[in-house]
Chains A and B, each alone.
Chain A
Amino acid sequence: MSILDGKIPAGPISEKWINYKNKVDLVNPANKRNINVIVVGTGLAGGSAAATLAEQGYNVKAFCYQDSPRRAHSIAAQGGINAAKNYQGDGDSIYRLFYDTVKGGDYRSREANVHRLAEVSTNIIDQCVAQGVPFARDYGGLLDNRSFGGVLVSRTFYAKGQTGQQLLLGAYSAMNRQIARGKIKMYNRHEMLDVVIVDGKARGIIARNLVTGEIERHSAHAVVLGTGGYGNVFYLSTNAMGSNVTAGWKAHKRGAHFANPCYTQIHPTCIPRSGDYQSKLTLMSESLRNDGRIWVPARKEDAQAIRDSKLKPTEINEEDRDYYLERRYPAFGNLVPRDVASRAAKERCDDGHGVNATGEAVYLDFSAAIVRYGKEQATIKGEDNASESRIKDLGKAIVKAKYGNLFDMYKQIVADDPYETPMMIYPAVHYTMGGIWVDYNLMTSIPGCYAIGEANFSDHGANRLGASALMQGLADGYFVLPYTIGSFLSADIRTGEISTHTKEFDEAEKQVKERIDSLVNNKGSNSVDYYHRKLGNIMWNKCGMSRNEEGLKEAIIEIAELRKDFWKNVSVPGKANELNQELEKAGRVADFLELGELFAKDALERNESCGGHFREEYVEKSGEQKGEALRDDKNYAFVSAWEYTGVPSEAILNKEKLEFFDIELKQRSYK
């Protein structure tokens, strides 16, 4: 075990980034033309980084597995993006955004990174508006804000329930401009399958052309991974079907430490699963908790009657409903952070109050908001004697304007009308706070290899606050990496082109090809999905919303066995040299089968509860906080950065000590 250096600049926290920028090595514009950078992934982080690096003059090669960079999964982010603009005059500031994020992350993030994130947050909004991102505005023509979980101000900018789409299309447009100029060479339908290390530095990648199956070599002076999170290790998640850990895992196997894999965000408001055939879960934006009230029937008999379809939620009287978040957390109510809301839903359902056929759902109810908005509108329109149904109609119109697309989506999937009856929701795997370890420069433990956005670990600690993922992705890509990468590339102005005809590229390509061949030539009897579902079951049951020592130990053994069986009995139809979607999946699932084991190991070694990592053994036993997570700052205020050794569960633990100079560590109370 060694102690890792996060390379955090000296000085007061509010001056670190400014001082860093003043002193960081720069590459002059003429030299940038001679330097190549590979960016893998074209979501908010990768897309914005590729565009900005190209604007600065670097030659960028960008890769995505989708048929267009515009389809990266950032596109599905719904609710919004945070920024400390304080346009609402409600007391927001850079410090408050910083504080909320560190607290929300349960004091397991790197203080200096989070402060930098809060500082550049305001630039993001300015940049996006300049690009033509159509954020929501109010009647005066100025930008509107909404509120998200875990904070007491309104700092979230949004574009209906499609904020991720609009921000990604903004980054995509910036990329398109550079593609047209020839400064970005775009490789669609390509998947990175290895990173190539030359003289200790990341100097290229091996990629598979997903249309022809051809294995390609690409070299560069630096490699940037903006490849997203690994939530699909659970099989069912809100991630896109293709979201995967492969790029990050390959870097891990080549020497990049993987940090805090067990920090996973289970999002409280997703559409519950409906059957065994389910392929993915759909999120309902956290923004709905601005107006929706979460409840279950107070009496178990009523919950049972609902499960048996003998009772409707609208028939349950107000006094027989348990608005359990409002009851347990009066200060934050329905807007507690995601980890808290998810655990509270699980607790109610485990106790027998769940409301769908499987008993794994709670209600998200808009009836009170509809009446509230309706009365407001009636007053505005001077309709003092408006009837109840008129008030409801007026209220529905407002709710529709705010959340229409989300309500439509719910109706399409569940075939219920959420304007008339409460939505049913249940927690689902959504975001992974863990990821590749990076220092303050966003460089991994491989020199020249960077990780940005969800792919890295640094900013959200053990739990991410709503509307902060978009903020981090764009902060890293637009405003952080383009500065920090200069300190590495400034040493490369005389290096010249990196050759792909070297033994390092030979060796990496050979390994990639051998692995593909062993997958397509394996004459097994089980499909790739068979293994992915089995892995997902182990992960959800033993590494999910709550974990314990016994279950985690079992998970490590079961995943190792499943992986062995996979390599023996998996069946991959088709050939290597063609478009072969089963082969793509097989490679990704093979990597998940390794990551899952490390995940369980990480959760087992962290003997505390913090954020999304809830260990049943570590809870407050008494007092006002009874049942809440029990953190252990004395022994666990560190980042667990795992070093690959060949077997995931035998990875070596490296620690980065987390020091908090500007924030006092305390029990995270939302009561």
Chain B
Amino acid sequence: MNLNLKVWRQNSPEEKGQMVDYQLEGISEHMSFLEMMDVLNQKLINSGERPVAFDHDCREGICGSCSMFINGEAHGPVKGTTTCQLHMRSFKDGDTIFIEPFRANAFPVIKDLVINRSAFDRIQHSGGYISVNTSGNTQDANATPIPKENADLAMDAATCIGCGACVATCKNSSAMLFVGAKISQYALLPQGQVEAKDRAQNMVAQMDAEGFGNCTNTGACEVECPKGISLSNIARMNREFLNGSITE
């Protein structure tokens, strides 16, 4: 198939960026979206131009590196799919495709489609852990039974890949789905109870400090999340936060 691409090009955080047009011919429908980008980059390199910078690594939908805003949707048109797992069969011959970075004030562009998501790491530093040292002498793993339902819900929350699609999609650039998922994972497990109150307070405070917006219950994040993280995690985060606030 033949495609018209409109790709965001930006040389550095300081410089202004713009959409640039590229034509591609002979793209196979079996290619992944990033393989199509590889073809574009090989073409650019062979003609002496600068290739498009974009983050990608595992290319199997789990590392959370890839982060393209495609035709106005985080990770493109297919639900439950990261950019790397999107295939060209989702597009038609002659299509025009807009490709932009995930945009949010807290995710500044480094170059082209590469953004800085270190704000997510800093939120995790503020409480995304259980304080247990490595000893090999913690209690036996089966000493505390955990109801299967809670274990499964914790797993669902922990499935978050930290890609930032929720932030890019939200009109408020809210990171509450991301933060809610981590707080929920621990809130649902007995091991997470000890620090539960501080965790919710600290992580929310850091989230605010990073400049992420608030949640207005639009639910777009849940729709665009490639891992189907549920909006109920935000409700659980709010409950944990409130619980921490009133019993302080």
Q: Is the CB of A132 within 8 A of B147?
A: no
A172 part of interface (Cβ distance < 8 Å): yes
B246 part of interface (Cβ distance < 8 Å): no
A169 part of interface (Cβ distance < 8 Å): yes
A134-B155 in contact given A67-B116, A274-B30 (Cβ < 8 Å): yes
Q: Which of A174, A241, A408 has the most CB of B within 10 A?
A: A241
* CB neighbours of A87 from chain B (8 A): 142
A622 part of interface (Cβ distance < 8 Å): no
Chain B contact residue count (CB 8 A cutoff): 78
Whole-angstrom distance between the alpha carbons of A261 and B110 in the complex?
A: 37
* CB neighbours of B39 from chain A (8 A): 277
Partner of B31, one of A52, A275, A412, A571: A275
Q: Is the CB of A73 within 8 A of B38?
A: no
B46 part of interface (Cβ distance < 8 Å): yes
Whole-angstrom distance between the alpha carbons of A589 and B146 in the complex?
A: 47
How many whole Å from B201's CB to the nearest CB in chain A? 14
Whole-angstrom distance between the alpha carbons of A451 and B132 in the complex?
A: 25
Interface string of B124-140 (1 = CB under 8 A from A): 11101111111111111
* CB neighbours of A130 from chain B (8 A): 130, 132, 138-139, 191
Interface string of A189-226 (1 = CB under 8 A from B): 00000000000000000000001000000000000000
CB under 8 Å from chain A, chain B span 59-113: 59-65, 78, 80-81, 85, 87, 89, 110-111
* CB neighbours of B128 from chain A (8 A): 173, 176
A421 part of interface (Cβ distance < 8 Å): no
Q: Is the CB of A579 within 8 A of B114?
A: yes
Q: Is the CB of A176 within 8 A of B125?
A: yes
* CB neighbours of B159 from chain A (8 A): 160, 162, 165
A428 part of interface (Cβ distance < 8 Å): no
Partner of B142, one of A142, A176, A274: A142
Q: Is the CB of B141 within 8 A of A143?
A: yes
Q: Is the CB of B142 within 8 A of A143?
A: yes
B221 part of interface (Cβ distance < 8 Å): no
A479 part of interface (Cβ distance < 8 Å): yes
* CB neighbours of A482 from chain B (8 A): 134
CB under 8 Å from chain A, chain B span 120-178: 120-121, 124-126, 128-142, 145-148, 151-152, 154-155, 158-159, 161-162
Chain A: which residue is nearest B52 at the CB level?
Answer: A581
A177 part of interface (Cβ distance < 8 Å): yes
Whole-angstrom distance between the alpha carbons of A152 and B176 in the complex?
A: 45
Whole-angstrom distance between the alpha carbons of A578 and B55 in the complex?
A: 15
A19 part of interface (Cβ distance < 8 Å): no
* CB neighbours of B3 from chain A (8 A): none
Q: Is the CB of A129 within 8 A of B45?
A: no
How many whole Å from B143's CB to the nearest CB in chain A? 9
Chain B: which residue is nearest A139 at the CB level?
Answer: B148
Q: Is the CB of A75 within 8 A of B62?
A: yes
Whole-angstrom distance between the alpha carbons of A529 and B44 in the complex?
A: 13
Q: Is the CB of A242 within 8 A of B57?
A: yes
* CB neighbours of B134 from chain A (8 A): 48, 51-52, 55, 127, 174, 478-479, 482
Q: Which of A68, A87, A120, A188 has the most CB of B within 10 A?
A: A68
A134-B63 in contact given A126-B138, A482-B134 (Cβ < 8 Å): no
Q: Is the CB of A67 within 8 A of B155?
A: no
Q: Is the CB of B158 within 8 A of A134?
A: yes
Whole-angstrom distance between the alpha carbons of A180 and B140 in the complex?
A: 28
Partner of A529, one of B42, B121, B158, B186: B42
Q: Is the CB of A409 within 8 A of B142?
A: no
Q: Is the CB of B141 within 8 A of A134?
A: no
B239 part of interface (Cβ distance < 8 Å): no
Surface stretch bound by B, among A90-98, A278-286, A658-666: A278-286
Whole-angstrom distance between the alpha carbons of A130 and B189 in the complex?
A: 10
* CB neighbours of A578 from chain B (8 A): 12, 111
Q: Is the CB of A127 within 8 A of B121?
A: no
Partner of A573, one of B48, B64, B136: B48
Q: Other than A136-B155, A137-B146, A176-B124, give 18 A-B pairs with Cβ distance below 8 A.
A: A66-B63, A67-B118, A68-B121, A71-B65, A73-B57, A73-B58, A132-B154, A165-B161, A173-B129, A176-B129, A188-B121, A240-B59, A278-B35, A279-B32, A409-B60, A412-B87, A578-B111, A582-B51
- On A, residues with C-beta under 8 Å from B are 48, 51-52, 55, 66-71, 73, 75-76, 85, 87, 120, 123, 125-132, 134-143, 159-160, 162, 165-166, 169, 172-174, 176-177, 179-180, 186, 188, 211, 238, 240-242, 274-275, 277-280, 282-283, 408-409, 412-413, 415, 478-479, 482, 527, 529, 571, 573-574, 578-579, 581-582
Contacts A/B (CB < 8 Å), 10 sampled: A55-B133, A66-B65, A75-B63, A129-B141, A137-B145, A160-B155, A186-B121, A412-B85, A579-B110, A582-B51
